[in-house]
A = this chain, B = another copy of it.
Amino acid sequence: MKSEEKRRREEGRRAGSELARVLEEALSKIKPTDAERRRLEKITAFLVDEVNREAKRRSVPARGILVGSAARDTWLSGQRDVDVFVMLPADFSDDALERAGMELARGVAKRVAERYEERYASHPYVHAWVRYESVFPAEGQWESDVYEVDIVPCFSVSSAAAIRSAVDRTPFHNEYVKRRIKGLEDEVRLLKQFLKGLEIYGAEHKTQGFSGYLCELLIIHYGSFLALLEDAAHWKFRTLIDIEQHGRYEIKGDEPLIVIDPVDPGRNVAAAVSVDSFAKFVDAARSFLENPSLEFFFPSERRELSREEFLEIVKKKGTDVVLVVFDAPDVVDDILFPQLRKALASISKLIERHGFRIFRREAAAVGRKAFFVFEMEVSELPSVRRHFGPPVTAEVHARRFKAKYAGTQMYIENGRYVAEIPRKYVDVVDLLKEELRACALGKHVSEAVARGYEVMRNEEIEFFEGLGKFFSKYFSSSVKG
Contacts and interface: CB of A to CB of B under 8 A. Distances in A.
Given A392-B283, A395-B233, A481-B406, A319 B413 contact: no
Interface in A436-464: none
Contact of A479 (B235, B283, B411): B411
Contacts of A256: 415
A162 interface: no
B384 A317 contact: yes
Nearest to A239: B393
A402 interface: yes
Nearest to A395: B234
Interface in A231-257: 233-237, 256
A309 to B, nearest CB: 15
Interface string A114-138: 0000000000000000000000000
A88 interface: no
A302 to B, nearest CB: 14
Interface stretch (A29-37, A53-61, A173-181, A274-282): A274-282
A366 interface: no
Contacts of A278: 415
B415 A384 contact: no
Given A318-B384, A426-B318, A412 B477 contact: no
A273 to B, nearest CB: 12
Contact of A477 (B360, B377, B411, B416): B411
Interface in A263-307: 275-276, 278-280, 282-283, 286
A398 to B, nearest CB: 7
Interface string A306-319: 00000000001111
A381 interface: yes
A39 to B, nearest CB: 40
A282 B234 CA distance: 63
Contact of A481 (B317, B377, B395, B402): B402
B477 A279 contact: no
A475 B409 CA distance: 7
Contacts of A477: 408-411
Contacts of A223: none
A400 interface: no
A42 interface: no
B235 A393 contact: yes
B276 A383 contact: no
A415 B275 contact: yes
A192 to B, nearest CB: 21
Interface in A382-435: 382-384, 386, 391-393, 395, 398-399, 402, 406, 408-417, 420, 426
Interface string A457-481: 0000000000000000001111101
Nearest to A393: B236
A222 to B, nearest CB: 18
A477 B413 CA distance: 12
B378 A360 contact: no
A360 B386 contact: yes
B398 A286 contact: yes
A203 B32 CA distance: 90
Contacts of A416: 279
A46 interface: no
Contacts of A237: 391, 393, 415
Interface of A: 233-237, 256, 275-276, 278-280, 282-283, 286, 316-319, 355, 357, 359-360, 377-378, 381-384, 386, 391-393, 395, 398-399, 402, 406, 408-417, 420, 426, 475-479, 481
10 contacts: A276-B413, A276-B415, A279-B392, A279-B393, A280-B412, A286-B399, A319-B382, A406-B481, A409-B475, A412-B479
Given A280-B392, A316-B383, 5 more contacts: A279-B393, A318-B381, A319-B384, A378-B381, A410-B478
Q: Ordered nearest first, which 5 A-B pairs have the shortest CB separation?
A: A318-B382, A279-B392, A411-B478, A318-B383, A275-B415
